[in-house]
């Protein structure tokens, strides 16, 4: 029996990705910022029109780390934040790490009872948060801190790092972040970090099966995953290190945004921060102003962007956190001239584990033997030429050139022989050093041959990015062989590309027949009237333990009030099994979304339970 890894190692060769990245550097995570400040002096972070270079970020980070130490933070102590994607988050994350603490990132979108649960579990000594959040004012913050027995609250306003700084009012028993930073010298303690054992982040999962659990992520986990993520684009991407910009439209408090922040700091990218990931117009304006070569987002952002004028955007988008409908990829390419790449991960793995490189293979000439030989022959001289040219271009010029060249290359590679190389609807191949097992319902591991022949099973993952366990017990949530059971049912094709068939918890049981809700979602996204779709199972009162299929549809504006339920049943009739046809169809004005803008099926199920 062949090892499963052999399937995707062939794709590694096509992309110039090594089979392993071991040994990983024996340095703590805050080393990313220290190196960026020294190695990439012209790069930094842009927020609300203001840019801070990495050297300035490091200065404020060291000052805050010194302040945290003076406030009593010692090695292993937890510090919580409730911050959006912002310079403040970056400074806090690296400062907590530098002081030897453990970061507990949180969101104001979470209900107070969930925040209270997280803080009582994680027992942070300090909380850093925004003061102007409309949903949770300072009084509520005080109440939350008291209930969770948090000793110190540090406040900031989002405008503290902007072109126009706001004034700070005096508040009892609370400190201001920027005032602390101004007060202390950059003299943080020298803390001995064991990267294999010491936690960098206590990242609570989304709580899809109840109250969230804390994933214990070590410095090694985060460090390895950032390096794995940077390597996924092959050696050519390294030529741009320190001289490109990336637009980040995902929250840093989420695992996806958190690792992107570290990866881009590691690569010395200038990070363009989108404070509100729902603000599509702001996203497009920033692309047109700064010319980033990469956009980090989620499917609903790209769906919303399709409503706008995208001509000339020419950007490469990375999509994660939720399933990317293939039809959205096609429309994005057609409207913008750019392309979308899908990835996959989970909080327990820091989170990135897979990426789909097939678009890059398509653009580089395909997977044929001739194209591979030409790539190898040209690799060294092309890298030398590109490296030389890039040295004389600034990041905005590189972005402008990329925005013109990418659409041309996409058109040149749009002929069927090239386009067939791109695999849509797949989360891609595993990252370097990521171990995968797929098990059937009995727990038996499926062989490579069984997977290639179409068998499906639950994906299990191990690797250097895998957590120590759920807080506070090391090994909790990990099987005896060291694997995380993802809860995702997958299939794999012969080149090692994985397809998420469904979440185990989202599989619908119709009289003993399995209905994969994601497959129906993907079909619905191909309908011209559908903007967002979600398929769930609802209890069948006549058959205990059985379910009926229900679909929710958010229609495109021009189809609202015109579409009929029966038209969608007819649309699905020849595309799904008879038992998978929806019993119920409901049009919804606005689909519920999570804090990271993915469809919240949990909320839809709760809505149904509330009706019964």
Torsion, Cα of 80, 85, 90, 91 (10° steps): -70
Tokens, residue 586? 């409901």
Tokens, residue 297? 């987002």
The domain at 31-192 falls in which architecture? 3-Layer(aba) Sandwich (3.40)
Give the Cα separation of 537 and 339 in Å (integer).
33
pLDDT (0 to 100) of residue 207: 45
- Which among 227, 228, 205, 272 is positioned nearest to 594, based on CA atoms? 205
pTM value? Answer: 0.89
102 in Cβ contact with 201 (< 8 Å): yes
Mean pLDDT score of the chain, rounded to an integer? 92
Give the Cα separation of 220 and 204 in Å (integer).
18
Cα 359 to the center of its chain, rounded Å = 19
Give per-residue pLDDT as tens, 67-76.
999 999 999 9
Mean pLDDT (whole number) for 242-263: 96
CATH number of the domain located at residue range(s) 7-24+227-419 in this protein: 3.40.50.980
pLDDT (0 to 100) of residue 275: 92
Give the Cα separation of 290 and 306 in Å (integer).
20
Cα 452 to the center of its chain, rounded Å = 28
Give the Cα separation of 214 and 212 in Å (integer).
7
pLDDT (0 to 100) of residue 11: 93
pLDDT (0 to 100) of residue 134: 43
The correct answer on CATH 2.30.38.10 for the domain covering 430-501 is yes
Mean pLDDT (whole number) for 450-454: 95
Please check whether the two domains, 7-24+227-419 and 31-192, share a CATH topology: yes
Domain ranges of the chain: 7-24+227-419, 31-192, 430-501, 507-611
150 Cβ partners below 8 Å, 6+ apart? 80, 119, 124, 125, 126, 127, 144
Q: How confident is the model at residue 544 (pLDDT cuts 50, 70, 90)?
A: confident
- Which among 255, 274, 232 is positioned nearest to 45, based on CA atoms? 274
Give the Cα separation of 88 and 95 in Å (integer).
10
85 in Cβ contact with 252 (< 8 Å): yes
Q: How confident is the model at residue 542 (pLDDT cuts 50, 70, 90)?
A: confident
The CA-atom distances, in angstroms, between 47 and each of 50, 116, 282, 563 are: 5, 30, 12, 42
245 in Cβ contact with 400 (< 8 Å): no
Strand order in the sheet with 199-204: 174-176, 152-156, 126-130, 78-82, 102-106, 199-204, 214-218
The correct answer on CATH 3.50.50.60 for the domain covering 507-611 is no
427 in Cβ contact with 14 (< 8 Å): no
Tokens, residue 110? 């979470």
pLDDT (0 to 100) of residue 421: 87
Q: How confident is the model at residue 209 (pLDDT cuts 50, 70, 90)?
A: very low
Q: How confident is the model at residue 206 (pLDDT cuts 50, 70, 90)?
A: low
563 in Cβ contact with 588 (< 8 Å): no
């Amino acid at each position: 029996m062949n090892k499963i890894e052999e399937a995707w190692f062939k794709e590694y060769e096509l992309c110039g990705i090594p089979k392993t990245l071991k040994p990983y550097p024996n340095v703590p995570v805050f080393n990313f910022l220290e190196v960026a400040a020294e190695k990439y002096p012209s790069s930094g972070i842009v927020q609300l029109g203001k840019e801070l270079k990495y050297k300035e970020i490091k200065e404020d980070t060291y000052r805050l780390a010194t302040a945290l130490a003076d406030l009593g933070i010692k090695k292993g102590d937890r510090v919580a934040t409730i911050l959006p994607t912002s310079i403040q988050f970056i400074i806090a994350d690296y400062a907590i790490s530098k002081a030897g603490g453990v970061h507990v990132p949180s969101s104001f979108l979470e209900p107070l009872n969930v925040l209270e649960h997280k803080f009582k579990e994680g027992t942070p000594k300090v909380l850093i948060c925004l003061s102007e959040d409309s949903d949770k004012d300072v009084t509520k913050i005080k109440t939350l801190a008291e209930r969770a027995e948090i000793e110190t609250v540090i406040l900031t306003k989002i405008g503290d790092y902007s072109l126009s700084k706001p004034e700070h009012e005096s508040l009892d028993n609370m400190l201001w972040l920027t005032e602390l930073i101004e007060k202390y010298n950059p003299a943080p303690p020298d803390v001995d970090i064991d990267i294999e054992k010491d936690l960098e982040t206590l990242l609570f999962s989304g709580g899809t099966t109840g109250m969230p659990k804390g994933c214990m992520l070590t410095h090694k986990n985060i460090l390895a995953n950032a390096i794995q993520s940077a390597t996924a684009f092959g050696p050519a991407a390294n030529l741009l290190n320190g001289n490109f910009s990336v637009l980040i439209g995902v929250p840093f408090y989420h695992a996806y945004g958190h690792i992107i922040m570290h990866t881009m700091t590691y690569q010395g990218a200038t990070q363009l921060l989108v404070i509100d990931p729902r603000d599509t117009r702001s996203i497009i304006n920033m692309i047109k102003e700064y010319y980033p070569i990469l956009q980090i987002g989620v499917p609903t952002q790209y769906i919303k962007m399709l409503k706008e004028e995208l001509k000339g955007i020419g950007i490469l988008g990375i999509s994660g956190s939720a399933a990317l409908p293939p039809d959205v990829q096609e429309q994005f390419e057609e409207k913008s001239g750019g392309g979308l790449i899908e990835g996959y991960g989970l909080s327990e793995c820091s989170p990135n584990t897979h990426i789909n490189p097939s678009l890059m293979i398509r653009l580089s000439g395909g997977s044929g033997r001739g194209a591979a030989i030409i790539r190898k022959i040209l690799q060294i001289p092309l890298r030398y030429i590109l490296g030389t040219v890039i040295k004389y271009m600034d990041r905005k010029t590189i972005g402008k050139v990329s925005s013109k060249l990418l659409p041309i290359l996409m058109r040149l590679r749009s002929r069927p022989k090239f386009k067939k190389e791109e695999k849509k609807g797949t989360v891609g191949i595993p990252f370097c050093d990521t171990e995968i097992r797929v098990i059937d319902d009995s727990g038996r591991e499926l062989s490579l041959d069984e997977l290639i022949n179409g068998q499906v099973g639950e994906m299990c993952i191990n690797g250097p990015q895998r957590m120590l366990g759920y807080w506070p017990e090391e090994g909790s949530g990990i099987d005896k062989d060291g694997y995380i059971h993802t809860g995702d049912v997958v299939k794999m094709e012969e080149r090692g590309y994985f397809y998420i068939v469904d979440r185990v918890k989202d599989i619908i049981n119709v009289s003993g027949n399995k209905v994969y809700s994601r497959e129906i979602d993907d079909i619905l996204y191909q309908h011209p009237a559908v903007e967002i779709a979600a398929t769930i199972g609802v209890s069948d009162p006549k058959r205990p333990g059985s379910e009926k299929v229900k679909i929710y549809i958010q229609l495109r504006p021009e189809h609202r009030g015109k579409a009929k339920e029966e038209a969608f049943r007819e649309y699905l009739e020849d595309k799904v099994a008879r038992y998978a046809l929806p019993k119920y169809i409901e049009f919804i004005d606005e689909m519920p979304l999570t804090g990271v803008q993915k469809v919240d099926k949990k909320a839809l199920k709760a809505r149904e339970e509330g009706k019964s």
